[in-house]
Chains A and B, each alone.
Chain A
Amino acid sequence: MDSSSVFLSPLWQDGITLFLGIVVEALPFLLLGVLLSGLISAFASERQLLRWLPQQAWLQSLAGGVLGFFFPVCECGNVAVARRLILKGMPPHVAISFLLAAPVFNPVVIVATWVAFRFQPEIVVYRVVLSLAIATVVGWMFSAQQELEPILQPSLLEQVRRNRAIERSESSASLLSGGTFVLGAKGNVRTAESVYAAAIAVPPLVGGRQRWRQLIDLWAAELRELGGILVLGAAIAAVLQTAVPRQWLLTYGQDPVSSIAVMLLLGALVSICSTVDSFFALAFVSTFTPGAILAFLVFGPMIDLKGIGLMLTAFKPRAIAYLCLLIAQFTFTAALLVNYYGS
């Protein structure tokens, strides 16, 4: 086949139709996710939520996962939320559960997955339940680590310690009558630094009109960033569907084990936003096993290149490596069970 006939092939045109189909279908959901996550970051108070945290570690992890339902943000938004939650006193294992569950366990993503997979409703149920279960179990496992040092990045750890010191000094000060100012024991002295840290721990809220202006700027930046990744993801899906020989896709896609491994890798590499990844996955339904599709839909939102980059702003590389290994193992096992017994 010479080069001109390659470009004249109807497959080129089909690739463009597939690409545009994914982009056009995904854009409304991307927009909805971005609008809601912006509104939440501008108006919601995470501190209120901390009051509802249960005592047992596994219940705390479950609560962290369920919290995602009230924060319909994608991977990119929820790392910032998780950082804020840790700073405001949430134990890191709860924040990890939130971080892992939030991209899937939220109304926008559940609706988008349903729209894409309403002909296979079991995929929607498996995706939501499995994501919450993995997030809870992994968070609970991290609760065994009492020391924060091996988990959190030094800069975040420093801020957490400052905030804790401030809270301790505030609680001891509250025992005193109003208006008195007494220095407590050695560890509880309020220094100028701690006062400053308290001031920056909660960002100052700007006025109404200014806040809306900031919100629109945030929406535009998120749409630009996530839209760019959506375009890349849609292009990869279109190329894989048209340029890669069907025989190759069937060889790897129909095998119950290799299909899962390929889709785990694809999920980690493509970094497509969880609000729209179902539409990407649709392109592989006819060639890959249901377990592999599920693995992509569960693993991709938790661990991908973009997410790892953002997680590094809060967690140490070693903790992230453990997270990746644990989640990959759980997802692989669950996907294998679905391939053998699930359909």
Chain B
Amino acid sequence: MQRRQKAVVWTRRLEAAVLLLLGGLLLYYRASGKLALLIHPNYVTLVAVAGALLAGMGVFLSVERWWRSPRQIPVESHATLLAPNFSLALLLLAIAIGFFISPQPLSSLTAMNRGAAEGLLSQQGTLDPQPFRVQFNSEERSLTDWVRTLNAYPDPEAYVGLAARVQGFVIHPGNLGDHELFLAAQFEIVCCAADARPTGLPVRWSQAQQLVADTWYDIRGAMAVEDVRGESQLVIQAERVNEIPTPASPYAY
């Protein structure tokens, strides 16, 4: 009985420490900017507030449970599906993953898993039906802006000859039927990485096969229309393709 009481005391102490660590993880992600890889910027403050509350609760309970006499610690009476220690182990595992494995932007494999391989990218994305921004200088349009524009006015001939400068990561879907074509892509998110959808355009570049998948490039060129897999498709005719570092905030919103 005494041993059981001791085990309960340690479970409750661990519980306090886990809450503190969980809050600490959220605050660390907020301070390091890593939240940009996981969630929409609208929810960054919400996550930071939750982190502060969890950490505050963790500090209070840690002081209570690590320094108070064990007899004063309440014994478990809550009906649970998972054993308390198992729940704590799962949370600790998640916290360890969060602290020791840095989140990375989603890769081209996930882009293909989410449909980039089946259709051309301009038919993907735009989960959020936001109005596209009117820009007189076509070089200021991002990949997502181009796709939104194209979805609003789908005739590709209307854009032929316009200058383009976009940034995105490379996907080699393997079904474009032309070794000088690759896809320049970006993920769009509405809420968090779980709903990320690929969006982008095919690019014609003579050395397309030498570009490394998932690496980010700055692409300059002009818009053209080509017949890709039997369909008339807007394509960027690249004139310059330069490697750039992965942006700190790689998703479009």
Which residues of A come within 8 Å of B, CB atoms?
Answer: 9-11, 13-14, 16-25, 27-28, 31, 76, 80, 115-116, 118-119, 214, 216-225, 227-229, 231-232, 234, 237, 241-242, 246, 271, 279-280, 282-283, 285-286, 305-306, 309-310, 313
Docked-complex contact B191 and A116, CB < 8 angstroms: yes
Cβ distance A177 to chain B, nearest Cβ, rounded Å: 43
Who on chain B is nearest to A218 by CB? B78
Q: Please, which residues of chain B bring their CB within 8 A of the CB of A232?
A: 90
Docked-complex contact B195 and A282, CB < 8 angstroms: yes
Q: Please, which residues of chain B bring their CB within 8 A of the CB of A28?
A: 43, 46-47, 49-50
Rounded to whole angstroms, the CA-CA distance of A13 and B97 in the bound complex is 11
Summarize A's interface: helix, strand, loop or mixed. Answer: helix
- Set A217, A279, A305: member contacting B194, Cβ < 8 A: A279
Interface digits, B173-194 against A, CB 8 Å rule (1 contact, 0 not)?
A: 0000000000000000011111
Rounded to whole angstroms, the CA-CA distance of A240 and B43 in the bound complex is 25
Q: Given A232-B90, A310-B79, 8 other A-B contacts at CB below 8 A?
A: A10-B109, A18-B194, A25-B38, A115-B43, A118-B190, A222-B78, A231-B93, A305-B81
Q: Please, which residues of chain A bring their CB within 8 A of the CB of B54?
A: 27, 31, 223
Cβ distance B121 to chain A, nearest Cβ, rounded Å: 14
Docked-complex contact A306 and B81, CB < 8 angstroms: yes
Q: Please, which residues of chain A bring their CB within 8 A of the CB of B88?
A: 224, 228
Who on chain B is nearest to A23 by CB? B94
Cβ distance B96 to chain A, nearest Cβ, rounded Å: 11
Q: Please, which residues of chain A bring their CB within 8 A of the CB of B46?
A: 28
Q: Please, which residues of chain A bring their CB within 8 A of the CB of B104?
A: 10, 13-14, 17
B16 interface hit (Cβ, 8 Å): yes
B107 interface hit (Cβ, 8 Å): yes
Instruction: Name the interface residues of B14-33: CB closer than 8 Å to any CB of A.
Output: 15-16, 18-19, 22, 26, 29
Q: Among the interface residues B87, B194, B197, which one has the most CB atoms of the partner chain A within 10 A? A: B194
B91 interface hit (Cβ, 8 Å): yes
Q: Please, which residues of chain B bring their CB within 8 A of the CB of A228?
A: 82, 86-88, 90-91
Docked-complex contact A229 and B38, CB < 8 angstroms: no
Rounded to whole angstroms, the CA-CA distance of A76 and B191 in the bound complex is 26
Q: Please, which residues of chain A bring their CB within 8 A of the CB of B98?
A: 20, 23
Q: Could you list 30 A-B pairs, sorted by A, with CB under 8 Å? A: A11-B107, A14-B106, A16-B97, A17-B104, A17-B193, A21-B103, A24-B35, A24-B47, A25-B39, A27-B26, A28-B43, A28-B46, A31-B53, A80-B79, A118-B191, A119-B127, A216-B60, A220-B19, A224-B18, A228-B82, A228-B91, A237-B194, A246-B113, A246-B114, A279-B191, A282-B195, A283-B194, A286-B197, A309-B81, A313-B79
> Would you list the 5 A-B pairs with minimal beta carbon distance, nearest first?
A228-B87, A21-B193, A10-B107, A28-B50, A25-B192
Docked-complex contact A21 and B79, CB < 8 angstroms: no
B128 interface hit (Cβ, 8 Å): yes
Given A241-B113, A282-B191, the answer on whether A227 and B50 have CB atoms closer than 8 Å is no
B242 interface hit (Cβ, 8 Å): no
Rounded to whole angstroms, the CA-CA distance of A282 and B40 in the bound complex is 14
Q: Among the interface residues A11, A228, A229, A313, which one has the most CB atoms of the partner chain B within 10 A? A: A228
Who on chain A is nearest to B126 by CB? A119
Docked-complex contact B90 and A285, CB < 8 angstroms: no
B76 interface hit (Cβ, 8 Å): yes
Rounded to whole angstroms, the CA-CA distance of A229 and B84 in the bound complex is 11
Docked-complex contact B192 and A21, CB < 8 angstroms: yes
Cβ distance B92 to chain A, nearest Cβ, rounded Å: 9
Docked-complex contact B86 and A24, CB < 8 angstroms: no
Q: Please, which residues of chain B bring their CB within 8 A of the CB of A24?
A: 26, 29, 35, 38-39, 47, 192
B115 interface hit (Cβ, 8 Å): yes
B129 interface hit (Cβ, 8 Å): yes
B61 interface hit (Cβ, 8 Å): yes
Given A31-B50, A119-B129, A221-B15, the answer on whether A20 and B97 have CB atoms closer than 8 Å is yes
